[in-house]
Amino acid sequence: GDGTGRGGGGGGRAGAAAGSGASYVGVVARIPLYSALEIDREREREFQRRKAVAGAVGALTQTLAERAVVSRKLSLFRALEKRAQERVAIGVAETGEQVQYLKEVAELEGRLNEARAKVVEARMTFVGLCAEGVPADRVDAYIRQFTRGIE
């Protein structure tokens, strides 16, 4: 040897380098691929995605129900306005009656337009949460089954 007691010809250094390399491999193998912080962040992102989906489902459901009520009211007030128009034409009612119903019709039409906008918003939220391509297209087609005639 070389007098160091480790073997000859500088083999001690080579042996040390090889030994420490093996210990690095052992340390790296024990380090998790994701840190606890990264796992927590991913859980939080998943929670936020699920929360967004739940919010969109709630908004769509509520808006569809709201729209149905507004649509029924609108049909009623259109009929009342037409009746008032006929009553004014034959001189049995004042124009104020017809104007009152016209105001209601206009207000309900505005609410119907708001409902349309909310339906589109909820649908776009769903589609935006999907992977692009086929999954998004399928979700969009599914939602459109419930929103035909609204948008």
Residue percentage of the chain with pLDDT more than 70:
77
**For residue range 110-129, what is the model confidence (pLDDT) as tens digits?**
999 999 999 999 888 888 88
CA–CA dist 14, 10 (Å, integer): 7
Give me the pLDDT at residue 139, please.
87
Give me the pLDDT at residue 21, please.
56
Chain-centre distance for alpha carbon 52:
5
pTM above 0.85, yes or no: no
CA–CA dist 45, 33 (Å, integer): 18
User: What confidence category does residue 147 fall into, taking pLDDT thresholds of 50, 70 and 90?
Assistant: confident
CA–CA dist 85, 96 (Å, integer): 10
CA–CA dist 146, 72 (Å, integer): 17
**For residue range 68-91, what is the model confidence (pLDDT) as tens digits?**
999 999 999 999 999 999 999 999
**For residue range 96-113, what is the model confidence (pLDDT) as tens digits?**
999 999 999 999 999 999
Q: Could you say which DSSP state residue 133 is in?
A: T
**For residue range 51-68, what is the model confidence (pLDDT) as tens digits?**
988 998 899 999 999 999
State the Cα angle at 118 between 117 and 119, rounded to 5°. Answer: 90
Give the mean pLDDT of the chain: 82
